[in-house]
Amino acid sequence: METIAPSLFDISVTRLDNTPTALGEYRGKVLLIVNVASKCGFTPQYAGLEALYQKYKDRGLVVLGFPCNQFMWQEPGDADAIQSFCTLKYNVTFPMFAKIDVNGKNAHPLYKHLKREARGTLGTKSIKWNFAKFLVARDGTVVRRFGTATRPEKLEAHIEKLLGDAPTA
C-alpha cells in the first residue's frame, strides 16, 4: 500500500547538488512546480520561468524545477550537465532538483501528490510532456495545473492573485 504524505510540505526532495531537503522549507511561499528538460521544443520556457522568478521572488514566489527524462529522453544529462546548461544558457537561479520520474510506478511522491490534487485536461492524471506546471498556494494547496504549451508569462494573473499582499514568511 502506498503511503500518502499528509501535505505537500511533508514530501522530501533532493536538490540538483544531491542535498536532501523537505518541501516544508517553502511553507508560506507560492510555488510554481515544473518538470523541465534541456533538449525539448519547450526548453526556451526556462527563460520565462526565470523571468517570473525574478519578478515575483521578493513577494514570495518560488519556481521549482524538476528535470525529467521520461519524454523522448529529452533530459539525458547528469546533475552537472543539467546545472551547467541551465546556468550558461538561461541563467537559471531558481531552485533545481535531482532528475525524477513524473509518471509510472517510479513517479516521485511529489508528482503523485500533484497529479492527485490537480488533474489535467479532461480529468487525465498523467503528465503529458515536459514543462507541465503546477501552481501551489502558500498553504500547500495545489491550485491549478497548466499544460506544457502554456507559456510562463500567461501565469502572471494567477500568480498575482495568490501572492496578494500576504507576508512571505
Q: Using CA atoms, how far apart are residues 141 and 131, in angstroms rounded to an integer?
A: 20
Domains plus CATH for the chain? 8-163 (3.40.30.10)
Q: Using CA atoms, how far apart are residues 118 and 70, in angstroms rounded to an integer?
A: 20
Active-site residues: which are they? 40
pLDDT band for position 118 (cuts 50, 70, 90): low
Instruction: Answer whether residue 169 shows pLDDT above 90.
Output: no
- Whole-model pTM: value is 0.89
Instruction: Answer whether residue 167 shows pLDDT above 50.
Output: no
